[in-house]
Structures are given as C-alpha cells and as structure tokens.
Amino acid sequence: MVLFPLICAFLMPILAHFKKEACSIFTLVVVGTVLLIAAYLTIIVLPKWPYTFQIGHWTAPWGIELVLDPLSALMVLTISAFCFLIAIYSLRTIRMEVPLEKAGWYYTAYLLLLTGMLGLMVTNDIFNMYVMIEITGICAVALVLARGTKEATEASLKYLLLAVIGSGFILFAIGFLYSVTGNLNISYVAVELTLANEHYPYLVWTAMGFFLVGFGIKAALFPLHLWLPDAHSSAPYASSALLSGLVVKVYIISMIRIFYLVFGPEMLTGTPMGTLILVLSSLAIVGGSFFAYTQLNLKRRLAYSTVAQVGYIFLGLGLGTSWGLTAALLHIIIHAFMKVGLFMVAGTVYFQTGKKNVLYFSGLGRIMPVSMGAFTIASLSMIGIPLFGGFLSKYALAQGSMQAGGYGFVVLVVLSGLLNASYYLPIVWQAFFTEEKRETFHLDLVPMSMMAPVLIITAGLLYFGVTPGGMMAMIDKAASVLMPGF
C-alpha cells in the first residue's frame, strides 16, 4: 500500500516527459486506488487488530515492522480520502498556478508526500519513522516551492531549514532511546523503557524534550511556528490545503504514538513535560488567534488559524486523560475537514475574482453563493457551534479538561471560540450582508472539479456534526490502542 504510490511517483517524471496533460489524471487514478486499498484494509482490520507486516520477513525486534491498528487505519483512510479530494481539486488549479513543464514534478512530489504520510502512519519502528518524516518534510517543501515565485522560494528555504533542525532533534532523541533500550521497534522500546526509566530517568526526560522540540517545530507548535504562515500562504492553493490539513497532523499523530505508546500517559502527566505542553498549547490557541485576527490576506489568516488549531490538538494530548486524547484525535480529523474546505474556498474565490484580501470580500455571497455557503459552514464549525463538526471536538476537549481538573482550560476553549468568531464571522458578514448594488445574483462560475470537493467536505462536516456516533466509535477504538483500559 505504501509502496504503490512510491513506485508511481517515480513513473511520473517519465510520463511527464511524454505527455504533460496526463499527469494529473494519472495521479487521480493512483490516489483513488490507494483510497480503495485503505478502505479495504480498514474493513479487514477493524474486527481483529493489530495487523502486522514484517518487511523482508525478519521477525520483530530485528526487522522493520509495519502495524495497522484502528488508529493508523483511521488516519490512513483520512489521509488518502483527503489526498483524493485535493487531487480532484488540483486538476484545474495546478494548471493555473504551476508552469506546465513543472506539473509532472509537482505530482511526483505529491505522490511522494502521500507515500511519506502513509508510511509514517503505519510504521512501528522509530528509525523508519525518522526516514518517513524526512520524506514527508522534503516533499512538503517541494510543494511549497512549486509556484517558483520569490516569496515561495524564500518561504520554502525557511521551511526546509527549520524542518531539518526539527528532524535533527527527533533523530537525536531516537539515539537516546536506542542507547537506553537497545531496540528500535516501538513495542519493544516501550517494554524496555519501563526498566530503563529507573536507571536513567534524566536521559529519558532529555529524549522526551528533544521529541517535543522536534515534533513541535514540525507541527508548528506556537513559539516554533514561524515557518508556517509564510510557507502555507505562498504555496499553491491545493498544496496549502494539503499542508495545513494533513501534513502538520501526521507529525502530531507520530508524536502521540511516541508519547503514549513509548513513554506512556503517566509519564506525560507525571513530569514537567505535560505542563510544558499545556502552557505552550494555551499560548498557541490565544496567540495564533490574535495573529490570525491581524492578517488581511485570507491565506495567511487561515495559516495562523492552523497554528491556533494545532494548539487545541496539543492541549488535548497534553491533558493526558482519555477524553483529552479523544478530543485530540477527533480534532485532527475534523480540522482536516474544516481547513481543507476553507483553503479550497479561498482558492475558488481567488480563481473567480482574483481577490486575496479579506477587506474586498463584500458582496461575494451574491456572486458565489455556493463557495461562500461552504465557507460559512466551515467557519461556524471552526467556532464550535453545535450541529457542526467542530462542536464535537470542542465538547470533548472541555470534557477532557474537566476530567483533568483544569477548569481554566474550559474557559480557554470557550474564549478561543469567541476569538475564532472574531476573525471568521466578519468575512461571512461582509460576503452576505453588505449592500453592493452592481452585483447581480448568480451561481458560481467555478469549474465542477473545484466545486465538487468543497461540497463533499461541507457535506461531511454537516454529517459528522449531526450524527457523531460512527465517528466517535472509530475514535474511541483508536484511542483504546493508545491508552489501555480506556
């Protein structure tokens, strides 16, 4: 499953050499196949997990092991589904944003990124995890670079430098873990670590700190988020949706895996590390929202909003309670829905009207009612209004805070909902309720390939908002992998 997009990615430049227009269709077919495989695997795995696969038939402590439990199955499904939608969306947008001779390379990077993310989800080996992190990181930088403009080049260099520092920290932490446990397989490291922790507590704490800094840079946790707004706002729209909705999240998932499976939740709450995550994530929620409020470029505003939302996820996992974990996992998926949808709408607005600045959005609701309707739904969900998807994760987060006895965080969640409202609702208000006489009412003039993914995502958001049962069951199953006795 992981290998398939990898092989296809390397076929892509050859295809691009002969027939440039066919690349996007080919990508679509590849990602669609991956989606089908992922769905099939999920159905197999759900009754009896974990499903493990040894690469090269070397048994567990020596060989590299891939594992598919409900958590990774859920994430693999989410990733391939969103990659499929974004591939549909990029059929048209990439043609307008990326020069034709580079489109083949763009799709190469796209498929490699998909490979990296899927590999990161299913791997059960910390060094393999590092390699996948590097693949994902480099391809993400390549996607930012794709437009080839001045800003994009600068942003991608910044992203690359910080990503390399981040993965350096992660590799160092892996070195520490290897030195105290002598294993690289996550399950074996976890067993050994309970013994090693008594002998070398400080070394283990150092490893935890290094993992936190490394993944914090990668996932744009608040003081380490500096690369994110530049990178996400100068990338093509399809890449921004992918980067903001998924790439940041896969790092968080691997971090959750390491912190909960290797170190264990008791160690998270028992050490200053848990407190540190809580403080940083609270800062991220407030700071990200404030920065988002001051931005006028819609893409930058969405990018800073991602910083704030990452804060929610970290808050959930820093709480170290079962509800907090549920909230973090739920928010990862729901936020993928919301942010991919919002970036896609930003793209459609830009392609129909050429507008990027939110001050000029007045009357847009009359020109493009479908896009702005989708934008409204996603915004309301972002604020956390009941009946929309975002309410679920906010509710779970509040439950988790109460479970951990932190009533201050409940206030924080409510407050940040208001902050979100302050930077999303003015756009909606302007779009629909400002009088502009010369605009006549008609439907959007955007091609169907751009509209369809937006509509699917919006429908999904509404569906999960109204009937959360199925989603919650999946998340609970995934959380039970991470926390025994859940």
Partner 1 sequence: MLLFSMGCLIILTQQNLIKKVIGINVMETSIFLFFLSIGNIIPGGPPIIRPGMEDVVYVNPLPQALILTGIVVSFSVTAFALAIIVSLYRFYGTVYVDELMKMR
Is 142 or 378 the residue whose CB approaches partner 1 more closely?
A: 142
Would you say 26 or 159 has its CB closer to partner 1? 159
Residue nearer to partner 1 on the CB measure, 134 or 439: 134
Q: Closest distance between partner 1 and the C-beta of residue 171, in Å?
A: 5
Compute the least distance from the CB of residue 157 to partner 1, in Å: 5
Query: Given the complex with partner 1, which of 97 and 230 has the nearer CB atom?
Result: 230
Angle, CA of 127, 37 and 76, to the nearest 5°? 45
CB 286 within 8 A of CB 416: yes
Q: Which alpha helices (DSSP H) does 182-224 contain, by range? A: 186-199, 201-219
- Cβ closest to partner 1, residue 153 vs residue 422: 153
Please give the C-alpha separations between residue 154 and each of 101, 237, 351, in angstroms, as whole numbers.
21, 17, 24
> CA 348, CA 8: separation in Å to the nearest integer?
29
| Contact (CB, 8 A) for 419 and 338 | no
CB of 162 to partner 1, least distance (A): 9
d(CA 277, CA 319): 9
Residue 203: burial class (beta carbons within 10 Å; 0-12, 13-18, 19+): middle
- Smallest gap from Cβ 175 to partner 1, in A, equals 5
The minimum distance between CB 205 and partner 1, in angstroms, equals 15
In whole angstroms, give the CA distance from residue 51 to residue 69.
6
Q: Which residue, 177 or 248, is less far from partner 1 as judged by CB?
A: 177
Q: Would you call the peptide bond into 50 cis, given omega within 30 degrees of 0 as the criterion? A: yes
Least separation in angstroms between CB 207 and partner 1: 12
Tell me how far, at minimum, the Cβ of 10 lies from partner 1, in Å.
Answer: 15
Positions that interact with partner 1 (CB under 8 A): 127, 130-131, 134, 138, 141-142, 145, 148, 150, 153-154, 156-157, 160-161, 164-165, 168, 171-172, 175, 178-179, 184
Check: CB of residue 143 under 8 Å from CB of residue 219. Answer: no
Q: Return the number of the residue (218 or 331) whose C-beta is nearest partner 1.
A: 218
